Amino acid sequence: MKSLPDSVQGGIEFAAELFCKAKRAVVLTGAGLSTPSGIPDFRSEGTGLWSRQEPLEVASMNTFRTHPEKFYAWFRPLANRIFEAKPNLAHIALAELEQAGRIHSIITQNIDMLHQKAGSKNVIEMHGTLRTFSCTQCYEQTDARAYLQPFVEKGEIPHCPRCGAILKPDVILFGEQLPQKACFEAQRDCRSCDLMLVAGSSLEVLPVAGLPMQALDRGAHLIIVNNSPTYLDVRADAVLSEDVIEVIPAIAEQVLNG
């Protein structure tokens, strides 16, 4: 791990102090937490998924209903990245903090399951998951593991074992509502936490971007770790504009080992 500037080290120590004092800490993670694991984000210029294709043309429910093969052609390279990705040091550090009782829950915008692979248990997936597929006709839900590998390796579009219709991954596409249960749990945890850590999210996508405000409005402290500025930097107790795989493990080390 590289040596960090004194100003950043001071921010890490302050963030660790807030964690040590917190009774109920909640984490919100975005795509920036998984880019070190090789999964591209959506909005970075030149590398983000939406810098190359118009999202409504490939990742909307309308496209899936009318041209599912177009969606799956776009989705296959991303699914391959997710299929092969491993948790990075930031995922592992957050799992260690949760296991030590320092984190109550992790709210994530990511669909890659890397938090769970790292060992986190209480993960609220706001944009759905690749763990399961659902039938577009009979609504049968099935485990994704039997379909992901043939899809990634051979491009085989998954079909329902019951009725034969095309299966849809249980991820949220444009034109779909967020999962009601996840929204309820996320709002509940944000309104009851006394510390919120935002990691790897630019806080640009509503309604998830509004969750930290719910915590702030109820007196919670806020730590932001993100490479680019967010609209809540001015309200945060600590803003660390450094790489998540450097900062998050350093905070965890301070909290767990002093």
* Lookup result for tokens 């767990």: 256
Q: What is the pLDDT of residues 106-162, one digit of tens each?
A: 999 999 999 999 999 999 999 999 889 999 899 999 998 888 888 988 989 999 999
User: At 122, which amino acid appears?
Assistant: N
Annotated active-site residue 127? The verdict is yes
174 touches 55 (CB < 8 A):
yes
The class of domain 1-39+87-127+178-258 in CATH terms is alpha beta
List per-block mean pLDDT (blocks of 10 residues) for the chain, which spans 258 residues: 74 96 98 93 49 65 90 88 93 98 97 96 95 91 88 90 93 90 97 98 92 97 96 97 95 92
The model's pTM is 0.90
**Where do the structural domains in the chain lie, given as residue ranges?**
1-39+87-127+178-258, 41-84+130-171
66 touches 221 (CB < 8 A):
no
- 36 in helix, strand or coil? helix
Residue 53, pLDDT score: 55
- The reply to whether domains 1-39+87-127+178-258 and 41-84+130-171 share a CATH topology is no
User: How far is the C-alpha of 44 from the C-alpha of 236, rounded, in Å?
Assistant: 23
Q: Which residues contact 62 (CB under 8 A, 6 or more apart)?
A: 56, 175
Q: Which of 104, 115, 127, 221 is catalytic?
A: 127
* Strand-pair category, 141-143 with 167-171: unpaired
Residue 6, pLDDT score: 72
User: How far is the C-alpha of 75 from the C-alpha of 20, rounded, in Å?
Assistant: 41
Backbone angles phi, psi at 117, to 5 degrees: -65, -30
The class of domain 41-84+130-171 in CATH terms is alpha beta
Backbone angles phi, psi at 203, to 5 degrees: 55, 50
62 touches 175 (CB < 8 A):
yes
- Judged by phi (left if over 0) then psi (alpha if -120 to 50, else beta), residue 200 lies in left
Residue 148, pLDDT score: 85
